Structure 1
């Protein structure tokens, strides 16, 4: 009898379902996962972690960004944490209250916590219309995402309804990933 079978048997005896015991370790929406931003030339930056906590009504998450990879910039009268590469890739976390929940087919709130703005290093100020939103899905047991364009100026004032993500399907535009510095995200 192998160790996994023995553990499942013990859990069954304690009243825990075997399918839950086996599925949990590989569940992309349970436990702590690393957030990796990926570039077109093989770049991979581990920028922090997200911890998923399945509950009775929803899957909640907490996000921890590791700012050791970021450089401080003062752009348009605002201090920003930016990743340096062919472009500056500045993290702009969602500034308003939100539920911090996800589901297997909706990562909107997590994407709002992973908003970025990009700009050329030599450009003056911040270009908030150059916003990046990662559209995410579950693929092969991992959360993956591709960059879409959003106008971050929409966040200058809080949305009327704080329970709905402001960057819905019609506020986002697909972009060509080739010219962007870090157009992909993987959470594993």
Structure 2
């Protein structure tokens, strides 16, 4: 019977650990991923991260927005964090309790945490009917999404059932991405 040296054992374990880490990194629904908003002219803004943790009751996520790219605005008696470009793109996270889970087929709750409102810089106040919801899906090992229109006024009061999505498929409308500032999201 041969004895394996401690160095050989450590190398084997390190290689195994690297392959596990690599597999987790390649899994779009495990570990920390960057959130990139993308424009029509090649603009890319890294606005934060989302960390996915697979568990017994699904894949839970934690969202961290880096407000370093955002500018503070006071619109319609509410302080908002906005990205500046041809339009203001103001982040309005979902304000009520929710499960913060995703699956390979459903990113709806994550999309509710990445809600935005857009407006022209010169317009007065906030236009909550100009809401943006990113419809997301898996695409070549990453999560990709395109902007859809929603009326954020629907969030003025909490839903009767907090487990029901306020913006289901019938509350969202496809929009032409060309005139919008950041109509695409990529999570990688």
| TM-score, scaled relative to structure 1 | 0.89
| Distance in 2 (alpha carbons) for counterparts of 1:133 and 1:84 | 18
* CA deviation profile, 1:32-91 (whole Å, cap 9, x unmatched): 000000000000000000000000121000000000000000000000000000000000
Q: CA deviation at 1:164?
A: 1.4
| Distance in 2 (alpha carbons) for counterparts of 1:10 and 1:85 | 46
Do the aligned partners of 1:8 and 1:22 also contact (CA within 8 Å) in 2?
no
The secondary structure found in structure 2 opposite 1:112 is helix
1:109 maps to 109
| CA 70–127 in structure 1, closer or farther in 2 if over 3 Å, else same | same
2:40 maps to 40
2:91 maps to 91
| Distance in 1 (alpha carbons) for counterparts of 2:68 and 2:166 | 29
Q: CA deviation at 1:129?
A: 0.1
Aligned pairs (5 A) from 1:54-69: 54-69=54-69
| Distance in 2 (alpha carbons) for counterparts of 1:79 and 1:42 | 29
1:51 maps to 51
Corresponding position: 1:30 with 2:30: yes
Do the aligned partners of 1:29 and 1:59 also contact (CA within 8 Å) in 2?
yes
| Distance in 2 (alpha carbons) for counterparts of 1:179 and 1:7 | 52
1:178 maps to 178
- Aligned residues, how many? 176
| Distance in 2 (alpha carbons) for counterparts of 1:7 and 1:41 | 46
Stretches of structure 2 that go unaligned for 5 or more consecutive residues are: 1-11
The secondary structure found in structure 2 opposite 1:49 is strand
| Distance in 2 (alpha carbons) for counterparts of 1:36 and 1:130 | 21
Greater C-alpha Rg = 2
| CA 89–10 in structure 1, closer or farther in 2 if over 3 Å, else same | closer
Q: CA deviation at 1:173?
A: 0.2
Corresponding position: 1:148 with 2:144: no
Q: CA deviation at 1:25?
A: 2.8
The secondary structure found in structure 2 opposite 1:111 is helix
| TM-score, scaled relative to structure 2 | 0.89
The secondary structure found in structure 2 opposite 1:93 is coil
| CA 9–84 in structure 1, closer or farther in 2 if over 3 Å, else same | closer
